[in-house]
Amino acid sequence: MSSPHHGEGPRPQDPPTEPTQPVPAAPEPRAAASADEQPGASHTQPMPRSPYLPFASLGGDQPQAPSPQPYPAHQQAGQHLAPAQPERPRRGPGWGGALALALVAALVAGGVGGLVGGMADDDGGGPTIVQRVGGSAERPDGSVAAIAADAVPSVVTVRVSGGGGAGTGSGWVYDDRGHIVTNHHVVDAAGDDGRVSIELTDGSRRDAKVVGKDSSYDLAVLKVDPTDLDPLDIGRSGDVAVGDEVVAVGSPLGLGSTVTAGIVSALERPVTAGEAGDESFISAVQTDAAINPGNSGGPLLNGDGDVIGVNTAIAQVPGQQQASGSIGVGFAIPSDVVVRTVDQLIATGRAQHPIIGVSLDRRWDGEGAKVLEDDAAQGGRAVVPDGPADKAGIEAGDVITELDGRRITDLDQLITRIRAKAVGDKVTLTIRRDGKERELTMTLEAAEES
């Protein structure tokens, strides 16, 4: 169809020219989005109250394209319009010719696939949907989705009620005998007469019995019916490096089967948690994977899906009375400590705590950990007679500056590093006495349990 020349009216065979659509006005400038607003959200229309957009609002009618203009949009320099000349009515290629041209263009541009793709979208404005080869549940080995698919069925929600209150935490299947690993502080509220149960991913629940628990390592072991339970594989935390990718699984805020991911942020981070006299001393794996209340007791997994830690604590912002949620600084008990402690709890119901046999001075604000002077120690003896430190030659007032060649900054770091060892391990201590340093070797012994 020929467009009318300048000064001509529409010809009788031409359809009436459609009015052009108005161009929407540009949105008014606005202030920067507040923290409550979602990034990238449109503010030209009021947002719905629900945080989820209704389905209809996601797939509304597409805006219609403007009608073709009857004149060229611009004129090139030096171009002149010829005077109107009478001419015979001409017909365009018609629908048949237009379709043939479209088919040729499709074949030339993209082959048969381009033709099929162009014809499949009748309205010309729909999305392109790509179907994943191999099924929606398959993901590459080592991906977070693949790790989660394997691990989630072996992670449980631990539910506790008793005289100390009620609450939920997390746990995971340790072996094929029905032992579940969790934190001491998760089950401690049950006391001796409370009830402990686990909830599986399918929603079913099983009663659990506390086999053993230890506040110093913040670990506990439960026993349940082992039917259809698959234990998780356990890796060596000693092989973990800062920057390794990790996945945390658990029940934060009671939301079971929750998966978060991050990296190992630091190793051997000294963490002391709990009330005075009932503290947990942990040489922890630090991670930025989101960990919240309720994640406690759940596994921290490496890129192979192996357990390399048990999530146990989150950092608290200074000045707050209580940690409210993840701030990207979470801590896990290293798996090497977990295996050693859990095996002891399963075998005897108790765990051994390695000690060096000294009383430390919490008033000391210098570098290292200072052994109390005898006149300040309980019972008048800062070094336990015939204990590991006494046998190695440590005296009251000595300052311990290194353990196995690594600097000690304060007494909490010394305690957590000692607790990360096993009874019977040999360690080398560097001490400072009268301004001089010396090295001593000692063998760790088990603390006497009261």
Q: Which residue has the tokens 């002077």?
A: 373
Burial class (CB in 10 A: 0-12, 13-18, 19+), 225: exposed
Nearest to 309 by CA among 414, 251, 245, 234: 234
Give me the torsion for CA of 278, 352, 284, 394, rounded to 10°. Answer: 90
Residue positions annotated with a catalytic role? 185, 218, 296
C-alpha to C-alpha distance for 413 and 309, rounded to whole angstroms:
19
C-alpha to C-alpha distance for 184 and 160, rounded to whole angstroms:
12
C-alpha to C-alpha distance for 222 and 213, rounded to whole angstroms:
9
Q: Are 372 and 396 in contact (CB under 8 A)?
A: yes
Phi and psi of 109, rounded to 5°? -70, -45
Residue 150's SS3 state is: helix
- Report the first-to-last Cα separation within the chain, whole angstroms: 101
Q: Are 383 and 395 in contact (CB under 8 A)?
A: yes
Nearest to 182 by CA among 215, 151, 218, 206: 218
Contacts of 281 (CB under 8 A, 6+ apart): 216, 217, 270, 271, 272, 412, 415, 416, 419
Cα 163 from chain centroid (whole Å): 33
Long-range contact pairs involving 304-307 (C-beta distance under 8 Å, separation at least 24): 304/142, 304/233, 304/235, 305/146, 305/147, 305/150, 305/151, 305/232, 305/233, 305/247, 306/232, 306/233, 306/234, 306/235, 306/335, 307/172, 307/232, 307/233, 307/234, 307/235, 307/335, 307/338
Residues 168, 216, 232: CA angle, nearest 5 degrees: 55
How is residue 124 annotated by DSSP? S
